[in-house]
Every structure is written in C-alpha cells, then in structure tokens.
Amino acid sequence: YPKAFIYDLDGIITDTAEYHFLAWQKMAEELGIHIDRTFNERLKGIGRMESLQLILSLDPSASNLSVDEKEQLALKKNEYYLEMIERMGPKDILPGIEELLHANKQHGIRIALGSASKNAKHVLDLLGLTAEFDYIVDASTVKKGKPDPETFTAAADALNVPYSECIGIEDSAAGLEAINSANMFSVAVGDKAHLPNADYLVAATNELKFEEIINQYNQKKA
C-alpha cells in the first residue's frame, strides 16, 4: 500500500470549483469580460491573483489597472465566492470521497490536503472534515503554487513519507502537472482532453474506488 493520499480540495472533495467559476464569471462580466467553462479549465488549481491575471489578459484595456485595483477585484471575487459557499455543509462532500477517506484510515494510510486556496480551512470546516486530515497544505503554506510540485511535496515532507509512496488526486491540469512532477502517482477526475497525463483517470468522484486505485498504483510500480 502507498503511505499517503494527498487530496485536492476544489473539485475533488467538494464542488467549490463550480463556485470559483461562477464568482470569477460574475466579477468578469462587470468588467465586460466574458469567460466560459473551457477557459475556466485554465483557472482551476492556480492561485487567486494568477487567475485574475489570466482573466484580465483577455481584455487589452485591463492592462493598465493598478496593483491596488487588481487587489480590489480579487477581493470582490472572493466576497462573491464566500457568499456562494455560505450554506455549504457535509451534504456537499462529493460522492465517493467519504468512503475513500474511510478506506485510507482503515489501511493506516495518512491523509493530507493539497489546496491552492486561501479558503481551504474554512471550506473543510464547513464540510465537517477538518479532523480527518493529518496535514493541510493551503495557499498560506507554499511559495510556489501549482503546477509547481511544492503543494504536494510539502504535504509528503510534513508526513515524512517518500514521494513515490504518495497518491495525489486532482481535477485541474495545473494540479495534475504538480503531482506528476513530484513523482507521485496521479489520479485525475475529469476528461482526457483536459487531463491527458494522469496515471489513472476517472470521469467523476463516485468512480474513485480505493481497491482500484491501489491496483493501478501497484501495476505502475511493478
């Protein structure tokens, strides 16, 4: 068995990825910038200011915004986001995740969070999952965000586990690249077009079955 599972938050444990998109879209529309779900795939997993930069780069007239104005926009997006997730609770844990966490516990496998979000702890609290995690990496922990491997290696280092014995689970292209460059086994949730380089790909979280993930992991090791 591997020694640790490192979970992405948004899009894996809960569907905050959708709220991040809706909040960015609301902020962008106010500037006359239109973003769709295909563009949003590029925002998944990357930090707040990096996401804002990508959105603003769609509009040449936004290039003269000051640092202060950009911070105001990011703040506004976060207010929309926090409003949208206000009523979230344990019912919003994505299908299959509690079973997977439970299987990890049963097999003595350590559990970590590897999130790019500044709101990660708040979201875990809302879901009632904070106590399940042996270690939490969020935006405050790492210097280099996804696709840099630091989010995942920081979790493994804290748990004192070799990278080759970790499994990372992601829904974003940036996060998947981070897991792969950390030399961990990568499990991706989504479609092949956005996530072509996963060691193991499933379409949705309800397909994340512990025994099958372990089979795939052992096959790659063999």
Q: Which residues bind Mg ion (CB under 5 A)?
A: 8, 10-11, 45, 171-172
Residue 109 CA: distances (Å) to CA of 7, 32, 65: 13, 48, 47
Residue 6 · residue 112 · CB < 8 Å: yes
- CB 88 → ligand G16: shortest distance, Å? 13
For ligand G16, the closer of residues 45 and 96 by Cβ is 45
Given a contact cutoff of 8 angstroms between Cβ atoms, the answer to whether 112 and 158 are in contact is: yes
Beta carbons of 74 and 55 less than 8 angstroms apart: no
CA quadruple 174, 175, 181, 185: dihedral, nearest 10: -140
Nearest CA to 209 among 189, 182, 183, 185? 189
Nearer to ligand G16 among residue 105 and residue 118 (C-beta): 118
What is the closest distance, in whole angstroms, from the C-beta atom of residue 135 to ligand G16 in the complex? 15
Q: Is 77 annotated as a binding residue?
A: yes
- Residues in contact with ligand G16 by CB under 6 A are 8-11, 17, 20, 43-48, 51, 78, 115-119, 139, 172, 175
Binding at 117: pick from ligand G16, Mg ion, none (beta carbon under 5-8 Å per type): ligand G16
What is the DSSP code string of 28-58? HHHTT----HHHHTTTTTS-HHHHHHHHHTT
For the CB of residue 153, give the shortest distance to ligand G16 in the complex, in Å: 15
- Closest approach of Cβ 19 to Mg ion, in Å? 12
User: Closer to Mg ion at the Cβ: 150 or 171?
Assistant: 171
* Catalytic residue ranges: 8, 10
Shortest gap between Cβ of 222 and Mg ion (angstroms)?
29
CB 28 within 8 A of CB 55: yes
Q: Which does 96 bind (CB under 5 to 8 A by kind): Mg ion, ligand G16, none?
A: none
Residue 164 annotated as lining a ligand binding site: no
Closest of 49, 213, 47, 191 to residue 57, by C-alpha:
49
- Nearer to ligand G16 by C-beta: 2 or 47? 47
51 among annotated binding-site residues: yes
Secondary structure class of 22 (helix, strand, coil): helix
Both structure tokens of 209: 């079955």
Rank residues 85 and 109 by Cβ distance to ligand G16 and give the closer one.
Answer: 85
Give the position of tokens 């500044």.
Answer: 118
Residues of each annotated binding site for substrate: 8-10, 24, 43-48, 51, 77, 115-119, 146
Residues of each annotated binding site for Mg(2+): 8, 10, 170-171
Residues of each annotated binding site: 8-10, 24, 43-48, 51, 77, 115-119, 146, 170-171
